[in-house]
Chain A
């Protein structure tokens, strides 16, 4: 069905006066494209979290004597069936009307009723659970899960970057500032620098993950616990922790503020955005280093993943690196949408919008998957063009800065001009204009790009230079 068809359907459904609900296809008859193409199963982390909450609640209710053994066992069995599936369940294929919380609750409740072999009422399924406490807890579980996936995948990327850093340790290239030739550095160092930055961000993400290990189950709708039977809160949190495999902290003292924790979405997303900043820069650096094949700097070659043009034969574009830049842009854009999403709501609830959750999950998913694509399709297959790297490093005129401290300003000016006119390196220009460079001399060190591109070498050179100029 295309867009205009769905608009027509929408037209028909409203003509008939059909009233809507939270599902696009229930209410707007069948007009899924109307609301983009969002389906409940695009948020599996969230749906799974709600299923686990239902299960843990049933078990808690049984232990506390609020629910019969049989019914609790049945709910728990059905819930397990909803999570441990190899194929996506069709029941979660529902197109949703923007909001995630309500449809997830509704579908899961329905599924439990349908799949249970004994009759279980809706009240029994959602006993002691309220929309607000369930939503906030499930959001936390979903966000933690995605943050942890992102850290994991970024770690894989870091490891690969580390391997490349080692592989290219011996490759000297021309360093650049503002894309202008500067002093020599190692190609490996370029990769190491990206790796170190991403590692620092992983630290931030892991720190953030800890925040999202809380439960407000038992808070009720307003944090007063009205509608929740005694001892449920601590029991369900203990059982849910077991279900999830990590310890949830029960924020009983802060129930009310925890239900309004939208500010924290901003903090979490800013850390994800930090990862996007790093990946974007990495991707862009890869495209410039790989520019060419003839008329670019071409220090590295990215593996070919697809023919790059429909009209120019043989062209290969750095499309995966561009892809990474694209998804990072989406993360930046999500951050603005997130601001709008949290920028609403009155009194006892923050905004009802699911946008903050969706923005965080979308950003995490894109970057997590993007990181893997980057590793598999690009980083693993990067090769260096070490001769070209070396040549560009040697051709840099930046060392003239130090040359003037050794041979004086006037002489340096001559060497520099001669190098420029004849398109030769500073070292060659010096040899031709002034004479041979003595072995072991300060000048030899200055023109030794291998030496100067290492921290130790640069230090030694600076020491020698200091002694020379004294």
Chain B
């Protein structure tokens, strides 16, 4: 153990630790969960990338000695690569801002000193003076949040696109497979499985596009704002260089939000530092994306119900033991998982909402729980979408015999009769079909309502799934239509 000192007093720091006293304090303070930033290397990396951009900038403007800047940059690269995994023990709760920022500052300072002097200390490079130069936790952390979220949206988009391509393949594969549509879980009129998949495809891609449109919000940073947005403590030349440098380090463009109709200078920063409503807007869209896919999952549970006493239109691949362990059971496990994931998205959205409202006066959200919940949710969304696509959606098979049988037997096909002869005749056919357990087609034939030739055509279930074709049928049989 080594003894370290800060403005509040002395504390022991483990010898092998690259962090320092403030990290020890913070990690002792907020122990309401067992989760620490060690579990979030992507967040630590983003903070270190910012630190690197700042060190480069500070060296360029002559505020930081070049040798020191190089040492800090090297330390940053090491932290980014994960070399110091395990040195970020601050709790995920309420350690955002100063907690994480100081944790990273301390690790970088100790390591940079070690690079320069061979000793872990703050002798040459101080965490606050050198590593944190021109920065405040209040501008570093919101910017890091944006970087992390921007990156984590990518896998979600990718998995959503993958799902779309699966749905497209399935829509083509089952283009001609007729099934019975249902409304209120009651038999309705025929449609194709291709139509079902196409509807699913459009819902997913529509929401995915919303997400794509939203993503650039996370390319705005608040660097240069320091404590409250005014930029007090920032040195000459820094504001101009920090964003180009940061963009170079992180590999995508990061900028300050600018307005043509500025009321005061840099008004975007005063918004950006206080508000995290974009987190909850993001989660709203992510939630809707997961909801669109969960809708598919829930429908698949119903479609695959059985194997004997259900509607068994769909066969799901056998992926895991059934929850009850019955020999014959094939649990729709991944479908149920999606509901669970959706619940987690709802939690994240709500949490982001509450968090964004938890700021007061000139400070942004004091609630890093919101950010971490969003990070967890984005990861969960990406991985569950992938799992659902790979192991469930791609494997979906249609029980073609069963679905066609349902379509042909539906008493709702009497709709065609009522379109030609009026509703009462349609009802008559439907009732007779139910009573005698026959199809509407047979009843219409036997009751001599329609000739068998006409019957074959107007009860062709595949044709009935196509509006153009049904319209054509009515044109053809205009003469036998008895309604005026």
Residue positions of A touching B, CB distance < 8 A: 2-4, 6-7, 10-11, 14, 19-22, 27-28, 31, 33-37, 42, 97-99, 101-102, 130-132, 221, 287, 304-314, 317, 319-320, 322-323, 325-327, 329-330, 332-341, 344, 346, 351-355, 359, 365-366, 369-370, 373, 377
Contacts and interface: CB of A to CB of B under 8 A. Distances in A.
B343 A353 contact: yes
B6 A307 contact: yes
Nearest to A39: B34
B351 A97 contact: no
19 contacts: A20-B319, A37-B35, A131-B323, A308-B98, A310-B132, A311-B135, A311-B136, A312-B136, A312-B227, A320-B94, A322-B94, A322-B367, A323-B29, A329-B370, A330-B373, A333-B353, A351-B339, A352-B336, A373-B31
B152 interface: yes
Contacts of A20: 319-320, 387, 391
Given A4-B155, A306-B8, A369-B33, A353 B358 contact: no
Given A307-B102, A322-B366, 17 more contacts: A20-B387, A22-B333, A33-B379, A34-B380, A35-B384, A36-B379, A98-B337, A99-B340, A130-B324, A311-B128, A311-B136, A314-B7, A319-B29, A326-B94, A329-B370, A346-B301, A353-B339
Contacts of B276: none
Nearest to B127: A310
Contacts of B455: none
B93 A332 contact: no
A307 B7 contact: yes
A352 B323 contact: yes
A387 to B, nearest CB: 25
Contacts of A19: 318-320, 391
A22 B331 CA distance: 12
B442 interface: no
Contacts of B268: none
A140 to B, nearest CB: 19
Given A305-B29, A322-B94, A329-B355, A98 B340 contact: yes
Contact of B32 (A3, A314, A351, A366): A366
Interface of B: 6-8, 22, 25-26, 29-35, 39, 41-42, 82, 93-94, 98-99, 101-102, 105, 128, 132, 135-137, 140, 152, 155, 226-227, 233, 298, 301-302, 318-321, 323-325, 333, 336-337, 339-344, 346-351, 353-355, 358, 360, 366-370, 373, 376, 379-380, 382-384, 386-387, 390-391
Q: Main secondary structure on chain A at its contact with chain B?
A: helix
Given A35-B380, A326-B369, A330-B373, A98 B341 contact: yes
Contacts of B387: 10, 14, 20, 28, 34
Contacts of A27: 320
B94 to A, nearest CB: 4
A102 to B, nearest CB: 6
A330 B383 contact: no
A90 B412 CA distance: 59
Given A2-B42, A36-B379, A329-B351, A304 B343 contact: no
A311 B343 contact: no
Contact of B346 (A130, A322, A336): A336
Nearest to B39: A37
A325 B325 contact: no
B319 A307 contact: no
Nearest to A322: B366
A14 B391 contact: yes
B324 A131 contact: yes
Interface pairs A-B: 4 shortest CB-CB = A337-B347, A34-B383, A323-B94, A329-B354
Given A35-B383, A37-B39, A323-B94, A330 B351 contact: yes
Given A2-B41, A10-B383, A14-B390, A307 B369 contact: no
Contacts of A33: 39, 379
Given A306-B26, A326-B358, A7 B383 contact: yes
Residue with the highest number of chain B CB atoms closer than 10 Å, among A31, A37, A314, A354: A37
Nearest to A371: B32
Contact of B227 (A36, A307, A309): A309
Contact of A325 (B26, B301, B353, B366): B366
B340 A341 contact: yes
Contacts of A35: 380, 383-384
